[in-house]
Amino acid sequence: FLPHTYPQKPPLCQLVTTGNGSFRFNPNLYACGKVCLSLLGTWSGPAWDPNVSTLLQVLVSIQSLILVPDPYFNEPGYERSMGTRQGKISSENYNKTIKGGTISHAMCDILQSPPPEFAEVIRNHFLLKREAILKQSS
């Protein structure tokens, strides 16, 4: 969402795939929908600079910093266990939980109740990708 103060202020970002506020997909993605990213002003670190920051920068940051293969290590302090046996086990367990939530909330929910304007695109995507999705989800 781009508020009337954009680009002087950062865009507003809300995760809506949360299982009605019941599931947290990532340490940076809260069940309430909050997206923690310094550019958005919701986390510590480099802040939004209206002279330099862009919407593309926000999207790339979400993709590269949040939507990562091992989100367990995004939790503050957990990065210290990266590369250890316990860190690997904890990350794998976290990913199993995320996988179940993804199937339930980000896939099944959207298939059962797609936004009308995207229903055909969503249905076609899952039909075209069904084999890869089934293989990955098993």
Cα-based distances in Å from 112 to 115, 116, 119, 138: 10, 11, 10, 20
Torsion of CA 128, 31, 80, 91, to 10 degrees: -40
- Alpha-carbon torsion, ordered 51, 30, 26, 4, to 10 deg: -20
> Annotated catalytic residue: which of 13, 32, 36, 108?
36
Measured from the Cβ of residue 35, the count of other Cβ atoms closer than 10 Å reads: 19
- Tell me how far apart the alpha carbons of residues 38 and 45 are, in angstroms, rounded to a whole number: 5
* Closest to 12 measured CA to CA, from 44, 37, 30: 37
Whether 108 is catalytic? no
Q: Which residues are catalytic?
A: 36
